[in-house]
Amino acid sequence: MDMHLNLQSHLPDGRSVLTFIRPGTQPGLLLKMVKELPYKHVDQNYLPLSRVQVFSSEDESMSLNMFVYGEEAAGTFDVEVTGARILQYAKDLMEGEYEGSVDGRHPKPSPLFERENLLNYLNKCSESYITRSDPRRFLCQMQLFDGISGTEGTRVAVEESYLDGNDEQFWVDIAVANSLPQVALEQASRLLFLHKFDVQRCHLDTVSDGENGNVTHLRLLVTPIDHGVATKEFFSRLKRELRRSKWLDPSTMDLVFERYPWLGVRRGEIITAFCSLMHPIMAKVSPLAYSKVNILETITKKRYIDHAALIANLFLDKFDPEKLINGEEFVKRKEDLIKAIDSDVEDTTASELLYKMIDIVEHTLRTNIYLYDRYSLGLRLDPRVMVSEGEGERELPYGVLFAHGRRFNAYHVRFRDISRGGMRLVTPSSPEQYALESAHHYDECYGLAFAQQLKNKDIPEGGSKAVNLINVHGLSDVGKNFVMRKSVKAFTDTILDLVVDTEETREKVVDYLGKKEILYLGPDEQVTPGDINWIIRRAEYRGYDTPAAFMSSKPRAGINHKEFGVTSEGVNVYLDVAIRHVLGIDPTKQSFTVKMTGGPDGDVAGNEIKILIREYGENVKIVGIADHSGCAEDPNGLDHEELLRLVNSEMSISNFDKSKLGADGAVHHVNTEEGVKARNSMHNRLEADAFVPAGGRPNTIDIHNYKHFLRDDGSPSSPLIIEGANLFVTNEARQALFDEANVIIVKDSSANKGGVITSSYEICAAMMLTEEEFFQNKAAIVQEVLSKVRDLAKMEATLLFREFENYGGSLPLVSQVISNTINVATDALSVALDNLSKEDRAELLPLFRDHLPKTLAALSFDNVNERVPDQYIKNAIASCLASKLVYKEGTKFIEAQPKEKLANIALQYVLKEKEVAMLKEALASVNMPQQEKDSIIKLLDAGGARTALGKF
């Protein structure tokens, strides 16, 4: 009798139970059933799968599968009573009772199985898991759990007693950290079916791993479908692919599980990664022919998949640590592949894509493809591979990292060997938007990194940026957050794969770059404090030299940008200097008006509101503020007390109390069409002395709409813009506003550099102090950092307007010239310092010490050589001297020096400064009128070192 029963019931604790009874035990039945299960992670009514039991009758006439949904509480029962059998078995094992057992299936005695450790683990487990578990099996799974606890890893074990090549059944144990249980079960079932195994029985349980999340335990009884022979080599590959399955992108799984099983996981992953990597390069050539969908479809057609597989083979062989191919063999095989494509592939789109794949193989310098526990596929690329055909000239980055993983692709671009910049997450809401973002993914990352390079001119780290593009389409809110957190972990760990120097990476990562790399990250859009903490812990676990410095803005041992207003402190200095120079207003004595984008609850805008009121009191009239919720405007100035209430309560501008408005004031909400129009046009409509974009979308003012910022007579609604937010105005719009309306714009790379300066000091502190030392001195260090931010902003702002008034040109161009000049001098000095002896370089260390906050230097500078990488110290000396020289003497002085002599002149400048200092000290004892003495000292300060050099 054929019996098909689907039963739904509930356990006493409220969990749902789905039971399926089916006739027979045909291969793939479990996989088919899992695919059809409800409560998927894309659904808003998602429930976690907490337990699975799959059984088949001995005569294979019937199968019974039970799936339990909802979390089962752990530790709400007497674990010593419930786990008595397990505790006794562990005691016997530790006393040697099973030593020398015939089958050898018992685990070896281990401190892990001591009573206290075992009780701790039992308290993490559900009662049903403990009750149903065989003691031996329970301890074996505990070992797997211990191997991945605190990580995102996967461990796999196959019963060793069956690895003898017969056609018996096999137990496969899998422990997966932080995977959705239903997804883990589906992927394991899929992979086992691909390798022609049928699942006869299955158990699924989840165990808490504390703050790290949970671990899913799978135990599957499998048998070869065709009674094939399963060798040790086969199981080795199976275990490797099971460990990878958690991290595979759906496109890879479709390619290797459904379409071309002969490819294997590694080659399939390489092909899908290359397709993703090619999209932003090739889309510039032809957006339609080289769309994201078309690239993957073309490369994976039956007509071309063999060529793609051979290219993947070349990649694998180039980086195989056990059988490395030499340069001549690589060139020959590359040429053979090109010839084969020339003769066999008639479609131009396909051939160009295949050629580009070969180009990627050639320009990859490192990869983590052979690391067992990698979270995604990572490539360290020669940046030249990212240049598109016909692309105009632009500066090549120092290095590019690319990662391809489950539902994400990510770039890290940096412009110097040691660089720092934020990681941002981009989560488009639709497949169409995702494809658009993918097309300019690399260019966005490049542009942000380049802007960071200009902004980082005052600090030892060059500019970098990481952009993680995540496919969250079709996911529930829970699923979206889950995938985002996983993508952060996978991308970060892949970066570490490519930069850490450990026994594992030395053994498995073939290095064509030939030098160690140091980089630092910071949080950007959608990165959470939980992400930050995990990244630092992971960097330490992976052996990064300075893990605490790897990620800035740590909750305890960091300097929170919003809490201390570090970016806004710098923004306001530029505003102050600009108002004095452009408008002729002393803001401490005269009234002026300001309009802003960005809300009171925002970092830059909220703190700028506080600083404006702190510094200028009633003199500042904030006539309009717009944010995501709406806008508030009042020509007589918005009430200060009410604004501060919103800032301190972290509330948006739509919460402004209308009773605090003047007669002509208004509050608009975006829940009406009129409110949206008012909010979107506020920055153009309202007239003010200065406009401070301190929030809002990039490219809000562009070449197509910049005229909306002008009044009917062509004059600007604000003659001054201070860019507190990045990229609010495009380059073309900046120039047009200056050319047509003489709008003076302080560019973002100058105005909001306070944040990167703070993060750099946080990196220094993380390297030079313990977390406790920093925390104990945090109050003093933070105040000194804020003072440094204001001083560096004042130095640049003063030079910016001096050079603008002396030499003309638009202010954004002058800003970029200053940044470029400092960076050129830094690079020249960095090269020159390589040729200095340690003794001579030590003479320059005071430059680095003077750059640091006084408390930080006093606590730890004596140990700087032991705690800070030599390359970082070198960069610090170079950047400190370069910025000091440019701010003091100006860009024209640097530009006038021959490039090959620039570094030597800068080093001589330091010596001449010391001579001037000695001269000033001697002058103090000279008997002459104080006024004359002060005048001489002023002249020495202004040009003494430069005059002593004989450079005018």
Q: Looking at residue 25, what is its pLDDT?
A: 67
The answer on 331 and 353 residing in a single domain is yes
In a domain, 951, yes or no: yes
In a domain, 569, yes or no: no
Catalytic residue of the set 465, 480, 753, 912: 465
Q: Looking at residue 917, what is its pLDDT?
A: 72
Q: Of 700, 735, 752, which residue constitutes the final position of a domain?
A: 752
Nearest to 625 by CA among 566, 697, 547, 679: 679
The answer on 457 and 308 residing in a single domain is yes
CA Rg value for the chain? 32
Q: Of 202, 223, 246, which residue constitutes the final position of a domain?
A: 246
Beta bridge partners of 177: 215
The answer on pLDDT for 778 being more than 90 is yes
418-426 vs 518-523, strand pairing mode = parallel
> How high does pLDDT run on average in the chain?
90
The answer on pLDDT for 461 being more than 50 is yes
399-405 vs 364-367, strand pairing mode = unpaired
The answer on 604 and 460 residing in a single domain is no
CB 327 within 8 A of CB 320: no
The answer on 157 and 306 residing in a single domain is no
pLDDT in tens, 660-685: 999 999 999 999 999 999 999 999 99
User: Taking the mean position of all CA atoms in its chain, how far away is CA 243?
Assistant: 24
- Indicate which CATH number applies to the domain containing 625: 3.40.50.720
The answer on 777 and 666 residing in a single domain is no
In a domain, 911, yes or no: yes
CA distance 520 to 518: 7
């589906």: which residue's tokens? 186
Q: Which tokens go with 712?
A: 């009917």
CA distance 48 to 180: 7
pLDDT in tens, 6-42: 778 887 777 787 887 777 666 777 777 777 777 665 5
465 is catalytic: yes
How many domains in the chain? 5
For 810, the domain range is 756-896
pLDDT in tens, 593-626: 999 999 999 999 999 999 999 999 999 999 999 9
In a domain, 583, yes or no: no
Q: Of 523, 550, 577, which residue constitutes the final position of a domain?
A: 550
Task: Look at phi and psi of residue 291 and say left if phi exceeds 0, alpha if psi is from -120 to 50, else beta.
Answer: beta
Which backbone phi and psi does 54 adopt, to 5 degrees? -125, 125
In a domain, 943, yes or no: yes
In a domain, 561, yes or no: no
The answer on 267 and 363 residing in a single domain is yes
Is pLDDT larger for residue 118 or for residue 37? 118
The answer on pLDDT for 154 being more than 50 is yes
pLDDT in tens, 878-900: 999 999 999 999 999 889 888 88
The answer on 913 and 885 residing in a single domain is no
In a domain, 279, yes or no: yes
The answer on pLDDT for 190 being more than 70 is yes
Cα atoms in the 13 Å half-sphere on the side-chain side of 368: 31
User: Taking the mean position of all CA atoms in its chain, how far away is CA 18?
Assistant: 40
- Indicate which CATH number applies to the domain containing 341: 3.40.50.10860
CB 280 within 8 A of CB 426: no
The answer on 223 and 131 residing in a single domain is yes
The answer on 699 and 814 residing in a single domain is no
């335990």: which residue's tokens? 217
Q: Which tokens go with 389?
A: 């055909």
- Local confidence band at 553 (pLDDT 50, 70, 90 cut-offs): confident
The answer on 761 and 732 residing in a single domain is no
The answer on 608 and 546 residing in a single domain is no
The answer on 376 and 408 residing in a single domain is yes
pLDDT in tens, 697-725: 878 999 999 999 999 999 999 999 999 98
In a domain, 932, yes or no: yes
